[in-house]
Amino acid sequence: MIGGLALLVAAVGAATAGQAITAGQDATPTSSAQHGSYVASMSSAPLEGRDATTVSRSAVRPMLAQKHTAKRSAATTAAQQLAAERNDKLGDAAAEAENYAKELSSNEWVFPTTGFHISTWFGEAGPYWASGYHTGIDFATAYGTPTVSVTNATVVQTGWDGPYGNQVRLRLENGDEVWYNHLSSIDVLTGQQVVKGQQVGRVGETGNAYGAHLHFEYRLASDLHNGIDPRPYFLEHGLGL
Ligand SMILES: [Zn+2]
């Protein structure tokens, strides 16, 4: 052993200025170099593998990139279309809201119901009416058809009113009243504000009524006890009857 060590030291010493410590240091770079080359050779395989992967990826990448680009541009186009549609819709909604606001503030009325024909005009004489003549206009339509406020108004009375059956009384902005009679349902409460076209109830035949119809009355603020002919008021507010 001693001889071997001395030989090793001598041999190394000859090569590296004879310092034993240097021999140890030399040994480390050597083994490190070997280790390094081992690592290099070991890692060269995976590196080649990586290179191969990289190559194949780099071949695939342009396709993927194209796909991504295509997808992205399709998504962008779709988003732009959506945005455009949304803007259109917003524009439409804004226009609708503006029209609605105009319509609400306008002097025009809307008919109190739909799908109707006038079955009895104001003033027609007949034995059915306490006053001896008809005190409103009858809008005959299907039972249950919604009936709406002709204009913006306040609900001043709701409930049963003898021969009128289920009734809703609306006060207009000028203080006059319109009365909706023979309703099958009442859909508003006394004191409620309603806007033009808002449903107040449904057509029926409650009270002194034969066949489903809305008996519509107009009463002046100055004489709420007597119904007057509603027809001129429809005409005045843009609706021919
Ligand atoms: Zn009537």
Distance 215 CA to ligand 1 centre (A): 4
Same domain, 125 and 228: yes
At a CB cut-off of 8 Å and minimum separation 6, what does 120 contact? 134, 137, 138
**Which of 105, 132, 162 finishes a domain?**
105
CA distance 102 to 50: 72
Question: What's the pLDDT score for residue 198?
Answer: 98
Distance 129 CA to ligand 1 centre (A): 9
User: Would you say residue 112 lies in a domain?
Assistant: no
**Which of 105, 138, 171 finishes a domain?**
105
DSSP H stretches of helix in the chain: 2-15, 20-105, 231-236
Distance 114 CA to ligand 1 centre (A): 16
Distance 120 CA to ligand 1 centre (A): 6
Is there a contact between 184 and 205 (Cβ–Cβ < 8 Å)?
A: yes
Distance 237 CA to ligand 1 centre (A): 21
**Which of 105, 128, 154 finishes a domain?**
105
Q: For residue 226, what is the enclosing H or E element?
A: strand 223-228
Does this model's pTM top 0.85? My answer is no
Distance 136 CA to ligand 1 centre (A): 6
Distance 134 CA to ligand 1 centre (A): 6
CA distance 137 to 178: 11
Same domain, 121 and 100: no
Could you list the residue range(s) of the whole structural domain that residue 121 is in?
A: 117-236
Q: Which residues of the chain have pLDDT under 70?
A: 1-69, 71
CA distance 140 to 71: 60
Distance 154 CA to ligand 1 centre (A): 23
Enumerate residues with CB within 5 Å of ligand 1 (an ion).
Answer: 138, 215
User: Would you say residue 219 lies in a domain?
Assistant: yes
215: exposed, middle or buried (C-beta count within 10 Å: 0-12, 13-18, 19+)? buried
Question: What's the pLDDT score for residue 192?
Answer: 98
User: Would you say residue 11 lies in a domain?
Assistant: yes
Distance 101 CA to ligand 1 centre (A): 33
CA distance 156 to 173: 12
Question: What's the pLDDT score for residue 7?
Answer: 43
One-character DSSP codes across 159-203: EE-GGG-EEEEEEETTS-EEEEEEESEE---TT-EE-TT-EEEE-
Same domain, 56 and 11: yes
Same domain, 144 and 42: no
